[in-house]
Amino acid sequence: MKVLLTGASSGIGKDMAAILNKKGYDLVLVARSKERLETIKANLQRENPNGKIEIISIDLSIEENCKELCETVEDVDILINNAGFGDCGNFFETDLEKDMQMIKTNITAYHILTKEYLKKMQLKGKGKILNVASVAGFMPGPLMATYYATKAYVVRLSEAIREELKKEKSDVQISILCPGPVETNFGNAANVKFKLKEADSFKVAEYTIRHFEKGDFYIVPFLTTKLARVAAKIFPSNLVSRVVYQVQKSKLER
């Protein structure tokens, strides 16, 4: 089976690539850094000399690149939308250009790739899509307003698509991954330092692939993250906002 995996050069994406490679999937790995992708490909080929691995260096914050990717890689069995980043600070103080790049990467790229590959999967009558969101997608996110909003978009889009597929009695599967803080390069990109213990990236990737292969829709690794999601549903939004504000404030490197 052929997997297209974005954001494959680090973190959960890199770890999912390693797991899928061992399982014998053919991989198309997408990220901006060609050098990192080449290193990852070499490492994966040492682990599985028979594995088929293609790398594509491309910036998915550019809309035309997303469309070009869909045309270049025409047919896949599994799409994993994982590329993304965040930022931290008061909304009126964070950089507008970084906000817009985040929206283009975390929303526009997901939207285009999900739509284009879903259309192809529907025609084939099979396929799987995994959209990497966050537990942040279930709650308001003061001090990380844009990031939380982008992940809410991914959650709601995926939930809507799932219902459409159910009504069409489609065999195409869509799932969303909603982790909490994970040991990746995310904190550096977002200018934050997590005070809470971060989950091991590889363990999150293992959990994700296991539950994705089982066909789960909501993939929420580990108990603390599951409890955070439940709390976001139970408590009033203004109370959740105050709690999230205090958590984010503790992360800021000032």
Contact (Cβ atoms closer than 8 angstroms) between residue 8 and residue 30: yes
pLDDT digits (tens, 9 = 90+) for 147-156: 999 999 999 9
Residue type at position 6: T
* Residue 182, beta-bridge partner list: 199
pLDDT of residue 182: 77
Is residue 153 flagged as an active site residue? no
pLDDT range class, residue 253, cuts 50, 70, 90: low
| Whole-number percent of the chain with pLDDT over 90 | 89
pLDDT of residue 36: 97
pLDDT of residue 183: 66
pLDDT of residue 248: 87
Residues 39-47, mean pLDDT to the nearest whole number: 97
pLDDT of residue 249: 87
- Which residues touch 158 (CB under 8 Å, ≥6 apart)? 114, 131, 133, 174, 175, 176
- Mean pLDDT for all residues in the chain: 93
Q: Up-side HSE of residue 242: CA atoms within 13 Å toward CB?
A: 4
User: Residue 191 above 70 pLDDT?
Assistant: no
Q: Which segments within the chain are labelled E, that is strand?
A: 2-6, 26-31, 53-57, 78-81, 128-132, 173-177, 218-219
Of the candidates 139, 142, 136, the residue with the CA atom closest to the CA atom of residue 90: 142
pLDDT of residue 120: 97
Residues 49-76, mean pLDDT to the nearest whole number: 97
pLDDT range class, residue 54, cuts 50, 70, 90: very high
pLDDT digits (tens, 9 = 90+) for 206-249: 999 999 999 999 999 999 999 999 999 999 999 999 999 998 88
Higher pLDDT, 137 or 249: 137
Lowest mean pLDDT among 92-106, 175-189, 216-230: 175-189
> Which residue in 110, 147, 148, 153 is the catalytic one?
147
- Which residues touch 197 (CB under 8 Å, ≥6 apart)? 181
CA dist., res. 96 & res. 84, Å (int): 16
For 135, other C-beta atoms within 10 Å of its C-beta total: 23
User: Residue 64 above 70 pLDDT?
Assistant: yes
User: Residue 185 above 60 pLDDT?
Assistant: no
- Which residues touch 204 (CB under 8 Å, ≥6 apart)? 12, 15, 179, 182, 221
